[in-house]
Structures are given as structure tokens and as C-alpha cells.
């Protein structure tokens, strides 16, 4: 048999590249799992946001009195959160609540017995929230749906990009790559794993050093000590070794 390699671009189908479907399937599966995880997080975040809006729709503003305040360390109070213990009257009952979140800088200025406002959901009167802190948080939460939508869009784009990149990595070297004879630096290892090794080739009397990727357990097309490989201009330092099985499948032997 004699090598007869067509000029680029060469007609190469994905089904002609052994193992390509398996590698693409693994890449796609990982992408789908990641996208599914993001979708799950988005659904749960949506439920949480819906619950927060429901609280604000039903909450009643109520006067309360401060019993104690647990403040963060002094150097963490700017933008930090304090936990308050308060007493308040609601629906004719005296209630006490602890760990009511409030802005730390605001809470720092409150003394024992200070008056403050709570938002109380009549359905859960024992779970009040400090009014100003809750309204500040609600203002920030307005942007959450946009962030979730953007995150899902980016996940979909990333999935499409990774799928296209994986597809191109399988086909572009064979369709458009420049074919060269590589000289490996040392003997190629006998292994059933994918092999990556250092090699070089000459083009117009210029030496090019590259990293070569060879499929596991396949005999490369050889010319003495040299092996055949495809170089892609977009990644000139990475090349793909052409093995005999692949060359036969592509019809490069006559």
C-alpha cells in the first residue's frame, strides 16, 4: 500500500474517526449535567424569590423594642449584618424573636429599649424581619431574575461552544491540517492510554517543536523513525498523529 493523501480541505466525516462519537458523547454528557445543575439551581432560586415576594405582599409593619443586639467585629460592620433580639405586640399577643437580621451600622446606633420597625407575616407572626434591612434586600433581589436568566444563557452558550470545540478538535486537523513528518524525542511508549509526546518537524528549513497527541494502542503511520501528523494553524504547537487504522478508514492508502 502507498499513501495518497488528498489536499486540504479533505472530506472527513465524524463517523470515520474512531472513538470520536464516544469522546463527544462524554463531553456532551458533562455539559448536560452542568446545564441541568444550573437549571435546578435556577428553579430553586425562582421558588425562593417567589417566597420573598409573597412575604412582602402579606407583611404588616409593626412597632418593636430592642432587647439586645449581636454585632459583628468592629472591622466588619460596614456592610455587615447584626442579629437582634426584639419584643413586639402582634394580634394582641406579646412576642419575642431573636436573630432578626439588621444592618450592622444601623444596629450599632441602637440602645437597649430602642424602638424599631418590623415586617410581620400574619401567617408566621413569630418570624419577623427588620423593616429597613428587608426593604434594602428586596431592592437587590429585583435584579436576581436577570442574573438567573443571564446565567442560564451563558450555560447554554458554553455548552454549545464546548460541543463545537470538541467537534472541531476531532475533525479540523484531518480536514484542514497541514500534514508533516514528525521526529519524536525518544521512543513512543507502549500504552493503552492516549499518548502525548514532544516532537519536532522541519518546514522551509525551520525547526518547529510541538506536542503530539496519539490515540491509545494504535500504530502511527511511519516513515523510518518519523510519524505522520496533522498541524492546525490555530494551534501550531499541538499536532495530531495519524495512525494506520485512521488513514485506512479515510482512504488515504491505495
Backbone angles phi, psi at 111, to 5 degrees: -100, 170
For residue 153, the model assigns a pLDDT of 75
Contacts of 91 (CB under 8 A, 6+ apart): 122, 125
Cell of 184: 519524536
Mode of pairing for the β-strands spanning 124-130 and 222-223: unpaired
Domains and CATH numbers, the chain: 59-129 (2.40.50), 177-254 (no CATH)
CA distances from 208 to 195, 204, 231, 237, 242 (A): 19, 10, 11, 8, 18
Q: What is the pTM of this model?
A: 0.46
Burial 55-94 (b: 16+ CB within 10 A, else e): beeebeebebebeebebbeeeebeebebbbebebebeeee
Backbone angles phi, psi at 247, to 5 degrees: -60, -40
Checking 191-194 for CB contacts under 8 A at 24+ apart, the result is 191/216, 191/217, 192/216, 192/217
Per residue in 206-226, pLDDT tens?
A: 888 888 888 766 778 888 888
3-state secondary structure of 211: strand
Contact 52, 173 (CB under 8 A): no
- Average pLDDT for 149-166: 71
3-state secondary structure of 126: strand
Is residue 11's pLDDT more than 90?
no
Measured CA to CA, the distance from residue 188 to residue 197 in angstroms comes to 8
Per residue in 50-89, pLDDT tens?
A: 667 778 888 899 999 999 999 989 888 888 999 999 999 9
Measured CA to CA, the distance from residue 243 to residue 138 in angstroms comes to 61
Per residue in 227-250, pLDDT tens?
A: 888 887 777 788 888 888 787 877
Contact 151, 37 (CB under 8 A): no
Please give the share of the chain, as a percent, with pLDDT higher than 90.
Answer: 16
Higher pLDDT, 1 or 11: 11
Q: Taking the C-alpha atoms of 245, 248, 250 and 254 in order, what is their torsion angle to the nearest 10 degrees?
A: 160
Confidence bin at 46 (pLDDT 50/70/90): low
Per residue in 106-129, pLDDT tens?
A: 898 888 889 999 999 999 998 999
Nearest to 247 by CA among 58, 34, 18, 59: 18
Amino acid at each position: 500500500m502507498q499513501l495518497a493523501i488528498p489536499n486540504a480541505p479533505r472530506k472527513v466525516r465524524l463517523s470515520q474517526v474512531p472513538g470520536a462519537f464516544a469522546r463527544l458523547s462524554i463531553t456532551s454528557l458533562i455539559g448536560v449535567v452542568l446545564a441541568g445543575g444550573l437549571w435546578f439551581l435556577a428553579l430553586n432560586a425562582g421558588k425562593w424569590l417567589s417566597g420573598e415576594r409573597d412575604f412582602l405582599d402579606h407583611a404588616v409593619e409593626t412597632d418593636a423594642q430592642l432587647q439586645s443586639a449581636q454585632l459583628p467585629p468592629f472591622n466588619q460592620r460596614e456592610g455587615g449584618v447584626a442579629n437582634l433580639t426584639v419584643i413586639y405586640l402582634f394580634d394582641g399577643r406579646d412576642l419575642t424573636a431573636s436573630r432578626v437580621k439588621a444592618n450592622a451600622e444601623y444596629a450599632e446606633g441602637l440602645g437597649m429599649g430602642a424602638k424599631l420597625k418590623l415586617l410581620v407575616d400574619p401567617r408566621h407572626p413569630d418570624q419577623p424581619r427588620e423593616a429597613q434591612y428587608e426593604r434594602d434586600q428586596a431592592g437587590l433581589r429585583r435584579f436576581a431574575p436577570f442574573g438567573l436568566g443571564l446565567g442560564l444563557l451563558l450555560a447554554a452558550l458554553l455548552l454549545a461552544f464546548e460541543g463545537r470545540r470538541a467537534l472541531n478538535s476531532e475533525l479540523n486537523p484531518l480536514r484542514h491540517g497541514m500534514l508533516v513528518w514528525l521526529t519524536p524525542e525518544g521512543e513512543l511508549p507502549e500504552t493503552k492510554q492516549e499518548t502525548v509526546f514532544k516532537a519536532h518537524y522541519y518546514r522551509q528549513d525551520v525547526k518547529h517543536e510541538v506536542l503530539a497527541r496519539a490515540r491509545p494502542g494504535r500504530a502511527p503511520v511511519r516513515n523510518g523513525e518519523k510519524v505522520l501528523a496533522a498541524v492546525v494553524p490555530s494551534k501550531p504547537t499541538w499536532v495530531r498523529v495519524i495512525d494506520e487504522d485512521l488513514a485506512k478508514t479515510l482512504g488515504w492508502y491505495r
